[in-house]
Amino acid sequence: MSTNNQQNEASWISLILRIAMASLFAVASINKFAGGLSGVAAYFQSVFEPTWLPLPLVAIHAKVIPFAEGLIAIWLLVGLHLRLAWFFTGFVTISLAFGMAVASKYDVAANNYFYVLLCCAGLYFSPLDRWSLDGLKSTR
């Protein structure tokens, strides 16, 4: 397979990863806003009440995460500073996975760590993404 074909495939892989993760975070964000931030915070606090995490910190995280998820969705779709977007997405996903592990919800934590792996793949393929703003700027 030629290098040009490999770069073309990598570009499509990056686009598919961006759309998949953006759609996941967009729906998560919309659902949290629809339920109300106070409801989200109350739910998070009920999940983490029996754990060692401080509830005020849990409440702050619960109120910030819908905004972070919305930002991630837009950022990945636009593709501006894509490597930074993937780093941010990975660290947000790690924070969610860590919380679920602390709450002994290991199945949810495992899913979130799979999303971290997808972030790593997105990070790996992002330099070859022609369909992002970064990629469009570099072709000029």
Share of residues in the chain with pLDDT > 70 (%):
96
**Cβ 73 vs Cβ 23: under 8 Å:** yes
**Residue 80 structure tokens:** 């501006």
The burial class, CB within 10 Å (0-12 / 13-18 / 19+), for 104 is exposed
What's the pTM value of the predicted model, to 2 decimals?
A: 0.91
Q: Is it the case that residue 133 has pLDDT exceeding 90?
A: no
How many independent structural domains does the chain possess? 1
| Domain extent for 45 | 3-138
pLDDT at 131 over 80: yes
pLDDT digits (tens, 9 = 90+) for 77-95: 999 999 999 999 999 999 9
**pLDDT on residue 1:** 52
Token digits of residue 66: 């819908």
Residue 21 vs residues 74, 116, 128: alpha-carbon distances, Å: 10, 10, 18
Q: What integer pLDDT is reported at residue 77 of this predicted model?
A: 96
- What separation, in Å, do the N-terminal and C-terminal C-alpha atoms of the chain show? 26
The band of 139, judged by pLDDT with boundaries at 50, 70 and 90, is low
- State residue 135's pLDDT score: 75
CB 74 within 8 A of CB 107: no
Asked whether the predicted pLDDT for residue 138 surpasses 90, the reply is no
